[in-house]
Amino acid sequence: AVSDKLKKTVMTGVGLCLVTVVLSGCIGPVKPAAQTREEALAYFEGEPSMFTTKQSYTSTLRYADVVRKAERLSEKCLNFDTRVVNRGVGPSASPTGTWSYRSTVVSVSPSRAELTMRRIDPEGLTPANHMPKGGYFYILVNYTKNKQGKADVVVYGPSMGSDEIMDALKDWTQGSSAKCPVEFDS
């Protein structure tokens, strides 16, 4: 079973997704989803801050430790499925289905690594041709080794529904305990 905290996070994200789809249909053609990480970065950099957020900071840990911790904890904490059951009727009804979140950490060079967290929506929520293979780009993190051997970190994500994950990502770079942002019921 999934905690109420996670359900709230997912439902906030679902609400934002639905509002975006509805507004896009009303004010113009739907912008195609980013197909690559580079396109997703351009989207996060170019969108108004009402829909996206960007955090920049420097780690207190050494770069190599930050990357190892990101690899270990993203595998443990940022790969999960959550089931949402339909509530309500008509246009206000939330969709039923399973959202899957998957993350990877890739070392691009000895001084640069990237964490990518993607979201796969339930079938039927959005037209199949809109979701890129592998899912939507949900949260992106760039780690760069600085002259002091620490990591300069830039995190991009949606402005709604990602606070706990983004806070955990920052905590992991600052030497705090390795706590997962999403707690599962036992």
Contact 128, 13 (CB under 8 A): no
Contact 146, 173 (CB under 8 A): no
Per-residue confidence (pLDDT) for residue 5, from 0 to 100: 57
Per-residue confidence (pLDDT) for residue 121, from 0 to 100: 82
Per-residue confidence (pLDDT) for residue 88, from 0 to 100: 61
Per-residue confidence (pLDDT) for residue 148, from 0 to 100: 98
Q: Rounded to whole angstroms, how far apart are CA atoms 120 and 170? A: 24
Does the pTM surpass 0.85? The reply is no
Per-residue confidence (pLDDT) for residue 10, from 0 to 100: 54
> Is the torsion defined by CA of 31, 33, 37, 41 positive or negative?
positive
Q: pLDDT truncated to tens, each residue of the chain (186 aa)?
A: 455 555 555 555 555 454 444 333 334 445 678 899 999 999 888 866 678 899 999 999 999 999 999 999 999 999 998 877 766 666 656 667 888 999 999 999 999 999 999 998 877 666 655 788 889 999 999 999 999 999 999 999 998 888 899 999 999 999 887 678 865 433
Place of tokens 């707690």: 183
Q: Rounded to whole angstroms, how far apart are CA atoms 176 and 170? A: 9
The one-letter code for the residue type at 45 is: E
Q: Rounded to whole angstroms, how far apart are CA atoms 67 and 62? A: 9
Per-residue confidence (pLDDT) for residue 46, from 0 to 100: 82
The one-letter code for the residue type at 123 is: E
Q: Rounded to whole angstroms, how far apart are CA atoms 69 and 76? A: 10
Q: Rounded to whole angstroms, how far apart are CA atoms 45 and 132? A: 19
User: In Å, what is the CA distance from 101 to each residue of 30, 74, 79, 162?
Assistant: 23, 11, 5, 12
